[in-house]
Copies of this chain bind each other. A is one copy, B any other.
């Protein structure tokens, strides 16, 4: 095994595309992904799993049908399984997502924003 820690800033410097998660680590059957987001994502949900958002830099709003959460740098939020949500970032925001490794970014909603899964950096 490698004895090198995974550096978020170093990994984030490797790509610029928005809404295109890159895998940086695996823990059991879960993956840690970094993603840069800007603008509005699509409404979707993940029927089989909760989804964690950790904001590394910036501000991410997650809209729900019944409210909105604002996640700033150094904060996290758990979107419950099956809860419809739409991430929105007014300025570019850098986020770590943690979820089971087969989860697609747009959930059950196929869209032009649906990203290829399991892309490592």
What is the CB-to-nearest-CB distance from A49 to chain B, in angstroms, rounded to a whole number?
A: 6
Binding site for B on A (CB under 8 A): 1, 3-9, 24-28, 30, 32, 49-52, 55-56, 64, 67-72, 74-78, 80-81, 83, 98-100
CA–CA, A7 to B74, complex, Å?
Answer: 6
Q: Give chain B residues whose Cβ lies under 8 Å from the Cβ of A83.
A: 1
A27 touching B52 in the complex, CB below 8 Å, given contacts A3-B64, A3-B67, A3-B68: yes
- A78 to B25, Cβ gap below 8 A? yes
A27 touching B6 in the complex, CB below 8 Å, given contacts A80-B1, A98-B98: no
Pairs A–B under 8 Å by Cβ, sample size 19: A1-B80, A3-B64, A3-B67, A3-B68, A3-B69, A5-B55, A5-B71, A5-B75, A6-B76, A8-B76, A9-B74, A25-B76, A25-B78, A26-B50, A27-B50, A27-B51, A27-B98, A28-B100, A32-B76
